Each structure stands twice: as C-alpha cells, then as structure tokens.
Structure 1
Amino acid sequence: MSWFRKKSKSEEDTVQDANVEVVSETVEEKKLPEGKKITVEELFSSPYVCSQNFLTLFQSVPEVFFPIDYIASRISSANFQFKKVKDDSVIWANKSLNQILLRPNCLMTWKQNVYQHFVYKLCLGNSFTRAAMSDSFTNVEKWRYCSNYWELPADAMEVLPVLGSNIPLFGIADQEDIIRGYRLNYGALSTMNIPAYQVWHDRDGCVSYYSGFGFMKSQSRLMSQMKPISNLIAVYEARNVIYVKRGGLGFLINMKQDESGPIAMTDNEKKEILQQHFGKFGVGKDQLPYGLSDIPLSFVRTNLTIAELQPFEETLADAISISGAYGIPAVLVPRKDQSTFSNQSTAEKSVYSSVIIPFAKQFCREFTQFLGLESSGYYLDCDFSDVDCLQEGLKEAEEVKTNINSRCKDQFLSGLITYNDWRAQIGESKFEEPMFDKTLFEMSDQEREIVKQIFSLNTKSEVENGRENQKPSVQDKGK
C-alpha cells in the first residue's frame, strides 16, 4: 500500500513556438516540434500513514525496523532448552522435544519461527502459533501428538466469537464458550477455519472486546507513534524531492530597469533564454557547463536545501521516540555519525534485563502451557549466558563458576543438597542412579565410598561425617 496521496497539476505557459517539454516528475527533457507549448507537471505529495499496514512500515522504514528487529533477533538467538521441573536438568534424549527446537515445521527452523513470532507481536500487537494436528486430538499433550508448529500471518488472522447474544464474556466460561475458532484470510486460504485449541494467541497490550476483525486482539505499539512516523515519511519525501529536483528551484528575473522600475522580459527574450539553456548548456556532448545570456539576469531561490531543512535532526528525534516505545534507550539508536557513548554497554544490559529476557521468559512459560508440558514434568527455558554485554569478562565468569562449584561442594558435604542438585546448579544433567538423589547423610556406607572415589578425598571421615577436613587443634578443642 502506498504511503502517499499524490496530486498532479498541469500548467500551460503562454510562450509560443518553444521546442522543450519539461516533466519534473521524471526529470526528463524532450525535444518537441516547432509550435508546441511547454508543459510543466509538478508533483504535490501529502504524506499519510496507513495504520492497518504496520508490516509495510517495518519492511520499508528503517526507524520502525530497528527496534523490532533489535528485540526479535536477540530473543531468537537465545539458547532454548527443554528441562525437567524436578531438578532443572536438560532433556537430551527426547526425540519429539528435540525436533521442535530443531525444525518445528518442514519449512522453518526454530530460530526463524521465534523471530517471526516476535516480529508479528511487536509490530502488530498479536502473534498466532498453530499446532497443526488431527481434529481427533483436543485435550491432549500437543508435544506428544504434534510435529508441525506454524507462525500464522497475524495480519490475516481473525478471531471468531461464538455466535449468539448470550456469550459469557466476563462470566464463568471456558475458551470454547467465547471463541469458536480462528479464520485465516490469506489468499487461497481465505476460508480456512482453525479450531481454537490448535492456536496460541500471544498478545502485546490491552485486548479489544468489540466484535469485528479486531475482536480479542491487541493494538500495536506503533499506534502511539503515528505522529513521529508521519513526520519520518514527510522528511523522506522532502529529501527525495530535493535530491531529484522535482520541485521548483526558483525564478529567473530580468535585471533591466528604467525610470519606472524593473522591466519584465518579453516573450521573445524568454524563448531565447530557454532555447540557449536546453540547446547549449549541460554535461552532454557539444554542450557547455556554463550558460551565456545577452540579458542581465538574477535568480531568486524559492526552495530550501537539506541543510536548511535539518531533516537528520528530525529523523533522529522520531527514531528515538519509536525506539522508546519498545524500551530501547536513545544511546542505542543508530546515528549518522556512528557515534558511541560510554554508557552504551550499560544500556544494552538494561535492555536485556528489562525487555529481552522478560519477553523470552514469558514466551517460554506460555509455550510450555500451550504444549502441555507441565503434566509430564517438563518446561521450556532460555539462556543468555553467552551474551557479551551480560558478562564482565572471561576471568569474572570463571570466578563466578568456581564460587558456585565451591558453594555447592560445601552444601553437599554438609548434607544440604544432593549430588544431582549440585550438577543442576552448574548446568549439568542429572545422574539416573537413585543414590545421587540422596543427601550425604542418607547414603549407605557403600554409597559414600563411591562418592569418596568421585571426590578423590584424602580421608574417609569427610564422607562419613559429612564435613570438611579440619585442623587437629580444632577437632581436639575442648578435650
């Protein structure tokens, strides 16, 4: 859909026998036979924004693309893993779950699916994920019986309310009492109705309860940025007009004067100036880079240059406003001079902690519920530990890991946690042997001997008594 509402106006000059036609929209110069008139077409553009087509703005306006892509690309790059609720250990040997993270459908990878999910959610305010499965499976765990998960085009989705006047909208009701399904209005699939239990509708913002195409949908954040977006489009259009010289630059004025004042140019003088200009002046073959005139002339400029309009300051202010709607600080907005700030790393950490990670965690919780993983004791989790701005350096990270490992060792030897609890805190999977789910005091002598071999302890008393080595002076104190 076009951004601009265009008008054209043709003006006919009274000059006769001219042989030039100037079309400012295409910046073309055409030779015409003698006796033809000069026709000048000027393009007047009035920018406006189609509020229902935010995807077009995302795909074509960089200031709209940046904050949405910034968040969506970083969430999709996280390390997603299925884990067990009991001990937070990673599930490695489950083919059905691993296939979801590898390729949720035949066309897209998991990363592409997650990216598309958040582009729809942040751009349109709504995202629809479908678990394509047989209609015979309604109240089942989807992860067991479904192998195709699709991100549906949110701009073509319609929520279908239950027909009738007695919908328990704010009463005691289940989903099927209010929503009878979803309709995909997309080309040849415009009549495709999808059962409600197969669709996860993820919203960003307040829900609209009014019947119609927007029923149960959220409004896009870009609605609050309509004026900055309109300003952006106006600035881009103005810059384009200046670059391609589609607007009027000014007037040539005769400098001759008499006792009564300035003398206007005659038609023959105008004709002669135009013929000399288009015939001899230019950069083409047999043309001069300068013009000659027998008439003293002056040029009065009627347009403004790009420097005078200051469009870059306007676009930066609009970009900061749009990015702010998504929680991205001004210091992270790209600038023409590629300037950086000393607090840029701190700002990136702030975006991760306040925007990206909460979005990702919410996605994991709701997708876990949609798949029905809770009944099996599983859940989806995401990890951002490999993000540079969230780490203070490799040395600090190693120190943190060492401290966690040392603390877990103390807790294990004190009988506070099990060996599998220890492994879960350092990101390792659990051992299946029952002895590793026991505290040190719950183990038998034989099991403690196995633990002793694992630790390579110097004395047996550490395992038997569940305490660390102590100096003899401390052990014998009071005797």
Structure 2
Amino acid sequence: MQLVKKIKGWFATEKSASEAPVEKTKPELNNYDDEAWRVHLMSEIASPYVADRNFLTLFHTVPEVFFPIDFIARRIAGAHFEIRSYKDDSIIYCNGRSQKADRLNAILQAPNSIQRWRELVYMHHVFKLVTGNAFMRAAMADTFKDMPKWKYCDNFWSIPSNWVKVVPAGTKIPLFGIAKLEELVGGYELARSNDTLIRIPTFQVWHDRDGMPQYLNCTGADFLKSESRLKAAHRAISNLIAVYEARNVIYVKRGALGFIVAKKDGGELGTQAMKPKEKEELLEELNGKYGFGDNKMPIGVTDVPIEFIRLNQSISELQPFEETLLDAITIAGLYGIPDVLVPRKDHSTFSNQAVAEKSAYCGTIIPMAKQFCEDLTLFLGLDKEGYYIDCNFNDVDCLQVGLKESEEVKKLVNERCRSQFNDGLITYNDWRAQIHETALEGDIYNKVKFDMTPEELAKIDTIIKSNNSKPSTGEESNERNIEKNPVSDQNG
C-alpha cells in the first residue's frame, strides 16, 4: 500500500508541475532602443540618491550642480603647491643637486604617466564633492608596504569613487574597538556593474571623505563611505529637472498650442459648430497655402468665421527662471558658495562680489585645500622625514587686500625679530623663518649674536643693511653677499 501511495504521489507531483503556469520573463531591452535609453537616462537624472553614478550624471548635465563643485575644485587645483620643511618652514626647491628635493617636487609635477598635478587635484575634489568620497591610490609593490610612499611610488591615481567598494576585513570586525585600519578594511574593490576589475590592498589607498562614514552597513557597497551633499538638495534638483523639462516642452512646442473654434452664427441656437467636411477643408487650406515653407503665405485668409484659443503658456508666464535661481542658490549654499556668486540670467553683478568671493576662499576653498595638504602629507609619509605639503593663493585678486594686511603684519614681525636678534634671543635663520623666508646655509646663520666672532657680526650687519636698503630684493642681495664673501662653517 505504501508503494502505491508513493507512485500516486509521483504522478500527482508531475501533474502539478506540468499544470503550473510558466513564468513569463520580461524581454531584455535593446541597448540601442532610443526610448529605453531615454527612460534610463531620465531615471538616472531624476533619482539622484539611487547610486553615486547618478550624482556624476547630475554634475555633467545640470549647470546648477556643476557650478559650485567646479568653482571649488578648479580653484583648489589652481593653488600653488610646495614642499616645506617642518624645521623652519623653508621651501624645498627642485635644484638638481638634491635627489630628495627632486623626487619630492616630481610628485607635484607629474603624479602619474597621463596626468599633471592640477588634473589630479581637480579630479580628486570633484569626486569628493559630488559623491562624498575620493580615493587616491599609490600604485606600488607589496615589498614596499611599510616604506614611505613618496620614496618608492611613482604613480598616484585618483580612482573613480562611484566604482570603489570598501571591503570589510571579515564578517566580524572590531568596529568601535582597538583596531588598525587593516583589521577593519580588507581592501578596496574597483568594480563596474557586477564585474570586479581589480582589488587594491589597503595600504595603497587614501580614502578622503566629505562627511560622516557609514559604519553599520558592513555588507553593503557603502561601508565606511560618506553621503553626498547633493542628497540634501534632492528637492531643489527635482525642481530643476521639472523646470528644464517644462521649458523644453514649450520651446519645441510639443502638444497642442490651442484650438480653432467656429464662430459661425446659428441664430437663436447660438454659435453653430463646423461639420466634419468643413473642418477637413479648413485644415487642408491652412496646411496647403499658409505657413513658412516654400510657396506658402505667412498670413492666412479664410471666409470661415473662426477664433483661435491658446492653451499653452509662454516662458514669461510660467516664470521658471526665478524658481531655477532659488534652487541654484540652495545647491551653492550646500558647498559654502555665497548667493551673489551664482550666475544669473541678466549677468548682473553686485558691489560686494569681491567680498563674497573672498569669503568663499577664506571659508571654503582655503580650509579644504589646507586639509587636503595635511592628509596627503600623512599618506605620503612626508611627516616622518620632516617635510609637509603646503599651498598658497597669493595670485588671487580678491585676496590682495588680505595680502596687504599680511605684509603689514610681516613688517611688525620683522621689527620684533630684529630686536630679539640684537638681544641674542634668536638666530638669523630663526628670524628668517618667522617671516617665512628660506633658511641660509652656514653655521653663522644658526648662531645667536653673542656667539659670533667680530668678523661674523660684521658679515651679518652687512646683510641686514643690504636688506634694509633694498627690501624688495633682500634675498637676492643676501645671496650675492654670500657668494662674494663665503662664510666658513667653523663655530666661533
């Protein structure tokens, strides 16, 4: 009996399987289908918080999103970057005599085989401001894992952050505990769609975030990544897309412009409607004789009493520009750009525009550039050698007033250092360091005044007098005096 029941059960299973409805699969869209591509593109633009790639699409396609990000990134990339010494803040020049100095400055010239330094800095900050994350890779062999990167790496790359996935070091990581980076992050995967291109070791990557990291999403693609600022502007961006779509509809005149309504008097019945044949004759006459084509008249003449009722609205009636300006100001405000710097349709400027641009530099651009230099210094390992990367914006017009003030401060500092040097409190190189001048070589410049011989004092006095007589070329005078009268390195 049990065997019979089993056989019946088998037949019942086969019957139910055969009667089960076949699941219909949706046909795959053709990549070359224009309609599918248009829907795909619009979904990317109109849904900015689906993935980071959508933020980049917004950056490349919506000018109100492009402006504040490009404004910041381009100005940071245009700064003057230099290598300085922690000891006296002197600049390490590329002079061809020091292999260390040449290698340090080579990073600031060509960080990789296809990019200049400014391109790399611009790309880094665009990814950081658009997606909230930037990844810089030092491509080097595992043999030099514990070595300073500035010594053993010749290729530095800004990796597309929308393709990078931070891989946890394991299923149970000591998050919020005592742990090194390698114990939390197992590496970085550079993946496009579902295909992993390469996996990069942790020690090669510097993850630069624009906000708070996401800790709890340990299994997702956003682990330890920061949110984009553009998420806060979702409503403003949606309004912009809607305005652009509305303007496009009006410009290309899609849909009905209006109706042609009969005005034929029907006596007591009121206005009499046209018959179908009369409509066809009127349309044939209008399309055949009137218009802007060849052998057509721009003015229409008809014996049928009609009236045109417009349905669409003009740009001036919709007033989308005012709404667009408010949205653009909202997005720019997220990045610390004053509203007076946002481009306007009438190209209007304000009297306080220079003050606003200076505010953008002092409040947003310069702090971000300084932070970039500090983090990059640690990533390259320059701090262990007594060096650091610095930047300045001395050639920016709106900051010239600030430079004048700083020169006055420098003059006061110079007078104070002169007094301290004469009192034997500081050396001549200490004096130069406090006014941000390069240190001079020679033991005489590292002595206080009371440790100098009469000959050395005379030499220093000559240099100081030369600087006072020609303040604009003081350093050149120093170098000429040193070349004419070389100072021995013997201690007095």
* Shorter-chain TM-score range: 0.7 to 0.9
- Distance in 1 (CA, whole Å) between partners of 2:247 and 2:57 is 20
Q: Does 1:340 align with 2:346?
A: no
1:309 aligned partner: 318
Counterparts of 1:41-52 in structure 2, within 5 Å, are 48-51=46-49, 52=51
Structure 1 residue 397: Cα displacement:
6.9
Rate the CA distance shift 1:55–1:394 in 2: closer, same or farther, 3 A.
Answer: closer
Match of 2:455 among 446, 457, 462: 446
Match of 2:158 among 132, 136, 151: 151
- Distance in 2 (CA, whole Å) between partners of 1:395 and 1:171 is 49
Match of 2:329 among 299, 320, 335: 320
2:182 aligned partner: 176
- Distance in 1 (CA, whole Å) between partners of 2:193 and 2:460 is 64
Q: Does 1:167 align with 2:173?
A: yes
Where 1:354 maps in the other structure, the secondary structure is helix
**In the TM superposition, what whole-angstrom CA distance separates every residue of 1:388-435 from its partner, at most 9, and x where no partner exists?**
111128876765554454443333223333211222344432112122
Counterparts of 1:323-472 in structure 2, within 5 Å, are 323-392=332-401, 402-456=411-465
Where 2:286 maps in the other structure, the secondary structure is helix
Where 1:180 maps in the other structure, the secondary structure is strand
8 Å CA contact retained: 1:206, 1:219? yes
8 Å CA contact retained: 1:58, 1:64? yes
Structure 1 residue 304: Cα displacement:
1.0
Match of 2:243 among 225, 235, 244: 235
8 Å CA contact retained: 1:132, 1:149? yes
- Distance in 2 (CA, whole Å) between partners of 1:399 and 1:173 is 49
1:200 aligned partner: 206
Rate the CA distance shift 1:369–1:7 in 2: closer, same or farther, 3 A.
Answer: closer
2:482 aligned partner: none
Match of 1:249 among 257, 271, 294: 257
Q: Which amino acid aligns with 1:70?
A: F
Match of 1:222 among 230, 240, 264: 230
Where 2:284 maps in the other structure, the secondary structure is helix
2:474 aligned partner: none
Q: What is the TM-score normalised by the length of structure 2?
A: 0.80
Q: Which amino acid aligns with 2:84?
A: K
8 Å CA contact retained: 2:432, 2:439? yes
- Distance in 1 (CA, whole Å) between partners of 2:230 and 2:205 is 25
Q: Which amino acid aligns with 1:48?
A: A
- Distance in 1 (CA, whole Å) between partners of 2:341 and 2:347 is 11
8 Å CA contact retained: 1:122, 1:221? yes
**In the TM superposition, what whole-angstrom CA distance separates every residue of 1:23-81 from its partner, at most 9, and x where no partner exists?**
xxxxxxxxxxxxxxxxxxxxxx9983343211111111110000001111111111111
**In the TM superposition, what whole-angstrom CA distance separates every residue of 1:352-391 from its partner, at most 9, and x where no partner exists?**
1111111011101100000011110000111112211111
- Distance in 2 (CA, whole Å) between partners of 1:102 and 1:56 is 30
2:88 aligned partner: 87
Rate the CA distance shift 1:415–1:269 in 2: closer, same or farther, 3 A.
Answer: farther
- Distance in 1 (CA, whole Å) between partners of 2:325 and 2:78 is 28
2:6 aligned partner: none
Rate the CA distance shift 1:252–1:372 in 2: closer, same or farther, 3 A.
Answer: same
Rate the CA distance shift 1:172–1:207 in 2: closer, same or farther, 3 A.
Answer: same
1:110 aligned partner: 117
- Distance in 2 (CA, whole Å) between partners of 1:127 and 1:83 is 25
**In the TM superposition, what whole-angstrom CA distance separates every residue of 1:75-106 from its partner, at most 9, and x where no partner exists?**
11111111000000001141111110011001
8 Å CA contact retained: 1:180, 1:195? yes
Q: Does 1:56 align with 2:57?
A: yes
Q: Which amino acid aligns with 1:419?
A: Y
Q: Which amino acid aligns with 2:261?
A: I
- Distance in 2 (CA, whole Å) between partners of 1:333 and 1:162 is 44
Percent of aligned pairs with the same residue? 54
Moved more, 323-332 or 382-391: 382-391
Q: Number of residues paired by the alignment?
A: 416
8 Å CA contact retained: 2:173, 2:184? yes
* Structure 1 residue runs without a partner (length 5+): 1-5, 9-44, 458-479
Bigger strand fraction: 1
8 Å CA contact retained: 1:96, 1:144? yes
* Structure 2 residue runs without a partner (length 5+): 1-33, 37-41, 95-100, 467-492
Rate the CA distance shift 1:373–1:328 in 2: closer, same or farther, 3 A.
Answer: same
Counterparts of 1:255-294 in structure 2, within 5 Å, are 255-258=263-266, 259-294=268-303
8 Å CA contact retained: 2:394, 2:403? no
- Distance in 2 (CA, whole Å) between partners of 1:410 and 1:351 is 38
Rate the CA distance shift 1:442–1:277 in 2: closer, same or farther, 3 A.
Answer: farther
Moved more, 295-304 or 122-131: 295-304
8 Å CA contact retained: 1:49, 1:229? no
- Distance in 2 (CA, whole Å) between partners of 1:394 and 1:132 is 39
Where 1:190 maps in the other structure, the secondary structure is strand
- Distance in 2 (CA, whole Å) between partners of 1:416 and 1:192 is 58
Q: Which amino acid aligns with 2:146?
A: N
Q: Which amino acid aligns with 1:130?
A: R
Where 1:191 maps in the other structure, the secondary structure is strand
Q: Which amino acid aligns with 2:446?
A: D
Q: Does 1:123 align with 2:130?
A: yes
8 Å CA contact retained: 2:48, 2:58? no
- Distance in 2 (CA, whole Å) between partners of 1:142 and 1:189 is 29
Structure 1 residue 285: Cα displacement:
1.5
